[in-house]
């Protein structure tokens, strides 16, 4: 069985990735701490503690484990809860160390970039995209340290793919939601303002996990960037109507129909055969236990 190393695997979304991959792979879950030797680990799940901003930690760990694949999910996930410099430095250093170390051991790699690379989510002034739906080729114009750290991380990903001849996938998730806990629906009840920064797009964490698994199984080469988004918006109204109501107009290149998501997932479909399976209409009220990474 192949080994995959998952950074940030004990985080909110990371544990869903570990749960999805365990059994298909032997998973090494890396985070700032580990649950302790007295705690029974699940089959196919091991834990290591490391600070990935420390190059010695990252390179030592990757060279020791020598994984077949790496999922780099560790990051400070927003620009608003820490000083900006800390967000940028932490995310860029961790991405450089983890991705470069993965390249040196020849591991195919998937990592978490973000829709924030386009710049709308934390922009001071909301603006229309150049096209609808938005594709991965749209210009990236972040105004915040988080989005900028992810643009820098994608540059590292491309470098690693070129230098070490390993496949690297940058996944740009939309706002990640959890079954039975769809915060986006609370935002929807408050009007259009709250969600205009990403044009009311979202993605279920289980779809993120399935995309990571699909990208790991990819037999392609080089670097690929793909969106992770649900098929629909979370407003229960046509996307074009919401965009026009909030922004007072539409992009000249507009081909969104009905409640179709503003983020195109065609690239993930074409490259990996992946399509989102979950919608807020069912998932918002689902009763699904959060994964446990430890033995029952």
pLDDT at 38: 73
pLDDT at 156: 98
The angle subtended at Cα 285 by Cα 215 and Cα 74, nearest 5°, is 35
- Structure pTM? 0.96
Of 206, 201, 182, 219, which Cα lies nearest the Cα of 275?
206
Give me the chain's average pLDDT, please. 96
Q: Cα torsion at 87, 35, 112, 157 (round to 10°)? A: 90
**Strand ranges in 91-229 using DSSP code E only, listed in sequence order:** 108-112, 131-132, 168-173, 176-177, 203-204, 223-228
Give the confidence band of 36 by pLDDT, cuts at 50, 70, 90. confident
DSSP conformation class of 290? P
Distance CA 191, CA 246 (A): 10
Q: Mean pLDDT over residues 135-150, rounded?
A: 97
The ranges assigned to domains in the chain are 3-283
Distance CA 147, CA 121 (A): 9
**pLDDT per residue as tens digits for the range 41-77:** 788 999 999 999 999 999 999 999 999 999 999 999 9
DSSP conformation class of 289? P
Fold adopted by 3-283 = Rossmann fold (3.40.50)
Q: Which residues contact 224 (CB under 8 A, 6 or more apart)?
A: 167, 168, 169, 170, 215, 218, 267, 271
Give the confidence band of 37 by pLDDT, cuts at 50, 70, 90. confident
Q: Mean pLDDT over residues 109-131, rounded?
A: 95
Distance CA 73, CA 211 (A): 13
Distance CA 211, CA 171 (A): 8
**pLDDT per residue as tens digits for the range 241-261:** 999 999 999 999 999 999 999
pLDDT at 290: 92
User: Does the pLDDT at position 139 exceed 80?
Assistant: yes
Per cent of the chain over pLDDT 70 is 100
């Amino acid at each position: 069985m192949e080994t995959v190393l998952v950074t940030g695997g004990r985080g909110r979304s990371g544990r869903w990735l570990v749960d999805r991959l365990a059994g298909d792979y032997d998973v090494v879950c890396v985070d700032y701490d580990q649950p302790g030797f007295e705690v029974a680990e699940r089959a196919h799940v091991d834990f290591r503690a490391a600070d990935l901003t420390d190059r010695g930690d990252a390179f030592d760990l990757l060279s020791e484990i020598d994984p077949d694949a790496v999922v780099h999910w560790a990051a400070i996930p927003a620009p608003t809860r820490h000083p900006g410099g800390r967000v940028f430095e932490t995310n860029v250093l961790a991405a450089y160390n983890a991705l470069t170390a993965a390249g040196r051991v020849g591991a195919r790699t998937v990592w978490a970039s973000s829709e924030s690379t386009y710049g709308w989510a934390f922009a001071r002034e909301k603006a229309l995209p150049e096209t609808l739906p938005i594709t991965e080729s749209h210009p990236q114009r972040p105004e915040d340290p988080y989005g900028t750290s992810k643009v820098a991380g994608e540059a590292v990903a491309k470098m690693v793919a070129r230098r070490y001849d390993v496949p690297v996938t940058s996944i740009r998730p939309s706002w990640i939601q959890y079954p039975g806990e769809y915060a986006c629906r609370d935002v929807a009840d408050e009007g259009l303002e709250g969600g205009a920064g990403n044009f009311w797009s979202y993605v279920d964490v289980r779809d993120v996990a399935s995309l990571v698994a699909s990208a790991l199984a990819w037999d392609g080469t080089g670097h690929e960037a793909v969106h992770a988004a649900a098929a629909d918006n979370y407003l229960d109204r046509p996307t074009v109507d919401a965009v026009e109501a909030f922004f007072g107009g539409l992009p000249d290149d507009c081909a969104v129909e009905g409640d179709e998501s503003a983020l195109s997932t065609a690239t993930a479909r074409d490259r990996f055969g992946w399509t989102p399976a979950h919608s807020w209409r069912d998932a918002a009220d689902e009763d699904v236990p959060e994964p446990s990474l430890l033995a029952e």
